[in-house]
Structure 1
């Protein structure tokens, strides 16, 4: 499958945005790639990370994308699996991945929508979208997602199954472009509890009576 979901080719000069064929200036991308602020970072999971908690560090501001201070590296083999919950409903339009040098850069990325707490036992299922990645140390290649598929995302899993030949995979930055709408999941949860108080009250009373009769 082409690295660009929309079927456009990569700019072989290494510049420009993969997907729409146009070059974006960093300020424009900096604004567009602000969805990291909608990630529930405390609950991000990264499976097969060599250093615990390092997977969370790759979701950072656009202006820090070229920093090499924080990164995640795989442990047992080249695979990495991210489980990324969002605080709001996301319409995901594009992804940029800055991987490690030489063969440490991931060569493939698989996306799964709204499937929380995936494990490596789950990655054999059909992905919602897949991309063949290209080494991109400067963060200039964008992988365009299918907006219809990723129009209402509350959780995103990213599976990186392979790299370009090294034993481990390294990733410095993963950026998301798109839009968000405020989620009201807490309100819905409260309403669902309030819709069944009589039943729970009734159960409590029954238990009380049983308890008293036993005594």
Structure 2
């Protein structure tokens, strides 16, 4: 895809091999996919329209290879992910494609809706070097303080391990969710019956208007 650069500088993002918990516990931790506004998710450079949305799925379906997104013009993929409330993002899991199609780097951007490849030159809120992971055992912990109030998350995969295209089967998001507070509309009830004190008028004296 022309018109956007291929940055290759990566921050030192650590990873956590959190595979010592039961499947039920992990499933509960990675339930934020239910808080994504899927109808508004965008995946740029996807081969098949709408396929990017399918990688956000339940933990117990993370190994489902039927639902996959593959990049089109080059190896880059960019996800714009709006939430239905406020998220404290604690970690990300990525199950990528086989061989060299697995992402090799990942950048996270907080609260930057409608990002495009032209916008990825700005500094990411966090960057990771990605390890090939076919089962979802590697979690990339975020800087929780920085990602404590997220309404929109952008995930950008700039590179893979050398293939022409990038594949992603699953993106798991670990964190806490808070419902968005609704704006209360204050309605003031005015008096239906007017207050005479608010409408002072001069008293009409018929004696002062005699016709000569």
Q: TM-score, normalised by structure 1?
A: 0.79
**Which of 35, 38, 43 is 1:46 aligned to?**
43
Instruction: Could you tell me which runs of 5 or more consecutive residues in structure 1 were left unpaired when the two chains were aligned.
Output: 11-15, 195-215
1:26-49: CA deviations, max 9, x gaps?
A: 221111000000000000000000
1:127 and 1:112 map into 2 onto residues whose CA distance is: 5
How much has 1:110 moved relative to structure 2? 0.1
Residue 68 (structure 1) aligns with: 65
Residue 174 (structure 2) aligns with: 177
How much has 1:88 moved relative to structure 2? 1.0
Residue 109 (structure 1) aligns with: 106
**Which of 121, 128, 136 is 1:139 aligned to?**
136
Following superposition of structure 1 onto structure 2, how do residues 17-166 of structure 1 map, counting pairs within 5 Å? 17=18, 23-166=20-163
Residue 210 (structure 1) aligns with: none
1:100-150: CA deviations, max 9, x gaps?
A: 000000000000000000000000000000000000001000000000000
2:117 is paired with a residue whose SS is: coil
Q: TM-score, normalised by structure 2?
A: 0.80
2:147 and 2:21 map into 1 onto residues whose CA distance is: 22
Instruction: Could you tell me which runs of 5 or more consecutive residues in structure 2 were left unpaired when the two chains were aligned.
Output: 1-10, 188-212
How much has 1:191 moved relative to structure 2? 4.5
Which is helix-richer, 1 or 2?
1
Q: How many positions carry a matched residue from both structures?
A: 178
1:8-59: CA deviations, max 9, x gaps?
A: x66xxxxx32xxxx73232211110000000000000000000000000000
1:43 and 1:35 map into 2 onto residues whose CA distance is: 15
Residue 210 (structure 2) aligns with: none
- What is the Cα-based RMSD across aligned positions, in Å? 1.8
Residue 197 (structure 1) aligns with: none
How much has 1:2 moved relative to structure 2? 3.0
1:142 is paired with a residue whose SS is: strand
Structure 1 residue ranges (4+ consecutive) displaced by more than 4 angstroms after TM superposition: none
How much has 1:81 moved relative to structure 2? 0.4
Instruction: Select the structure of larger CA radius of gyration.
Output: 2
2:122 and 2:185 map into 1 onto residues whose CA distance is: 34
1:54 and 1:145 map into 2 onto residues whose CA distance is: 26
